Amino acid sequence: MNFLFVLLTALLVSMAIIPIMIRLAPVLGMVDLPDPRKVHSVPIPRVGGIGIVLGALISILLWVPISSAIAFYLFGSVVLLIFGTWDDCRELGHYVKFIGQFVAVIGLVYFGDVWVALVPFMDDPLPAYIGKPFTVVAIVGMINAINHSDGLDGLAAGESMLSLACVAYLAYVADGIAVTLIALAVMGGVFGFLRFNTHPARVFMGDSGSQFLGFSLGALAVILTQQTNTGLSMALPALILGLPIVDILAVFAQRAYQGLNWFKATRNHIHHRLLDLGFDHYQSVVVIYAIQTFFVLSALALQYEADAVLLSLYLGVCALVFVLLILGERTGWRVNRHGSESRLSRFVLSLKSHPLFSTAPTLFIRITVPAFFVIVSLWVGDVPRDFGLTGVAIAAVLLVAMLFDRVQSNAYLVRIAIYGTAAFLVYLTHQYTSQLPEDFPELRWAYFVALALAIVIVVRYVHDVDFRSTPMDYLVVFLVIASGLFMDGASADSAFGEMVIKGVILFYGCEIIINRGNKFWGRVLNISVMAASGILGAKGLLQL
């Protein structure tokens, strides 16, 4: 069950921090300005990495047992956060950034004892005086690979998510719980960031985020293959980490061939070259995601194959990618010759603007969430007396708030009342189900899955939704953390994890109704919650 709380804690902390940082970005100077090498045309805050890092680290500190390796992983993450944030504020030179990267990685390798001893095609392990320096250079290289791949909205985050999911699975099946938890924590931080990074992005992760992701991927790949499961092919990290490795190597090779500074930013990464071939933003990201997905699935399918097989597959696919890029560039081929939008872009844009994609999910939330409150309160048969008293109090609070709806403080009282009733209903449907239909658990899960899907669509794609960070975000963070702490002493078959998931989904459904600014649906929600709490109150007080 800790897997759930690790992911949720990181996600929710990240979601709560990023909106605050977006507002502070202009004051701190953490804004990415357009230039000819970049693909965005307006200033964008580059503060998302702070949310990713803090979300992941807080989750790890709460749920993961701290060993020496993990302690120095945390140390390195904080160092990279400091240097990355400094760079996002002041545009440090690459040599200064290298100082932070080497400090972070040397601590992990030499003091956390995380280093590569087993390598492809060699039966005997490397001695420490070779393996440790090699590991330092390799992880620093991975940090820069992810840092340089962060050129399109969602690109570095998506590539990292695929690799992290692969690491988490491989570690889980090998009983590497610590690696699994860390990978999930980082994924949770990235999920929270992606809420604000839909193209066109409202926020970039910046160096603080991209360096942390590269560091995490490099460290976890080493721990996975060198400590957690040494039976894996030692060539497996090439497939797990995938396209960013060969991309950065190809860029360095090009710069060296052209006599350029190796570390001076240029427009010759794979995503830049795809854009120059006429691929639009969506197509470029999909192409790179597809290649990275192939590598990750190959890693899962071929995890115990010979090193030669894995490296041949990896190098063969990479060679094919670059051959196709070079052929396209030299022949003048363009995927969208007339500069028009691609079919994929037209499909995505038409999907976003279609009523079934925008209006329907909003209407589904507005109708079914209030209905859930009323229907479930009528269905629940047994209500404890203390819940009944609380229900009466909540109904009274909502009634007073509706009578004096111009009082500013009422907004917070109403939110607390709504969230409290939602939590009660989710709990009661798990603990007091004797009066419910036999197929209610399946119907309940189907509803929450549909509600979660509708919420994701509305939050990410319906642009007139003012879905900002509110006290609810912090309440949800507290709920997840408190529930997880309670779970440490609960029985293994406890349903608290499931209740937290459903409670979070219901909370955000309520938040969308409140934040849409439509007074009619806001009143419908308030009345339904008042009715539900009144019904629960009556049932509880009638208990003998």
Domain assignment of residue 2, yes or no: no
pLDDT at position 493, please? 42
Low-confidence ranges of the chain (pLDDT < 70): 1-2, 34-41, 198-200, 263-265, 336-358, 405-412, 431-442, 460-497, 516-517, 543-544
**Are 302 and 342 contained in the same domain?**
yes
Question: What is the three-class DSSP state of 32?
Answer: strand
Residue 57 makes CB contacts below 8 A (sequence gap 6+) with: 74, 77, 78, 185
pLDDT at position 472, please? 46
Domain boundary pick from 334, 350, 366: 350
Check if the beta carbon of residue 314 is closer than 8 Å to that of residue 295. Answer: yes
Q: What is the largest CA-CA distance in the chain?
A: 87
Residue with tokens 């709460």: 62
Check if the beta carbon of residue 114 is closer than 8 Å to that of residue 108. Answer: yes
Domain assignment of residue 412, yes or no: yes
How many CA atoms are closer than 13 Å to the CA of 371, on its beta-carbon side? 9
Expressed as residue numbers, the domain containing 458 is 354-541
Give residue 288's identity as a one-letter amino acid code.
I
Quote the tokens at residue 247: 């991309």
Number of neighbouring beta carbons within 10 Å of residue 21: 22
DSSP 127: P
Domain assignment of residue 3, yes or no: no
Question: What is the three-class DSSP state of 2?
Answer: helix
Quote the tokens at residue 492: 């293994």
Check if the beta carbon of residue 254 is closer than 8 Å to that of residue 326. Answer: no
Domain boundary pick from 328, 350, 372: 350
**Are 375 and 330 contained in the same domain?**
no
Long-range CB pairs of 245-251 (<8 Å, 24+ gap) are 245/141, 245/142, 245/145, 246/318, 246/321, 247/145, 247/148, 247/149, 248/141, 248/144, 248/145, 248/148, 248/149, 250/322, 251/148
pLDDT at position 491, please? 44
**Are 334 and 358 contained in the same domain?**
no
**Are 26 and 88 contained in the same domain?**
yes
Q: Tell me the CA end-to-end span of the chain in Å, nearest whole number.
A: 36
**Are 385 and 331 contained in the same domain?**
no
**Are 263 and 337 contained in the same domain?**
yes
**Are 495 and 514 contained in the same domain?**
yes
pLDDT at position 502, please? 82
**Are 255 and 310 contained in the same domain?**
yes
pLDDT at position 544, please? 47
**Are 92 and 180 contained in the same domain?**
yes
28 class by beta-carbon count within 10 Å (0-12 exposed, 13-18 middle, 19+ buried): middle
**Are 187 and 335 contained in the same domain?**
yes
Check if the beta carbon of residue 174 is closer than 8 Å to that of residue 16. Answer: no
**Are 406 and 371 contained in the same domain?**
yes
Domain assignment of residue 4, yes or no: no
Q: Is 207 annotated as a binding residue?
A: yes
Residue 306 makes CB contacts below 8 A (sequence gap 6+) with: 233
44 phi/psi in degrees, rounded to 5: -130, 130
Domain assignment of residue 113, yes or no: yes
Residue with tokens 């090699």: 134
Please give the tally of structural domains in the chain. 2
Name the pTM for this structure. Answer: 0.78
**Are 340 and 471 contained in the same domain?**
no
pLDDT at position 478, please? 54
Residue 498 makes CB contacts below 8 A (sequence gap 6+) with: 430
Strands (E), 135-217: none
Strands (E), 46-189: none
Domain assignment of residue 1, yes or no: no
Domain assignment of residue 502, yes or no: yes
Domain boundary pick from 350, 371, 393: 350
Domain assignment of residue 114, yes or no: yes
| Closest CA relative to residue 411, chosen from 502, 519, 509, 501 | 519
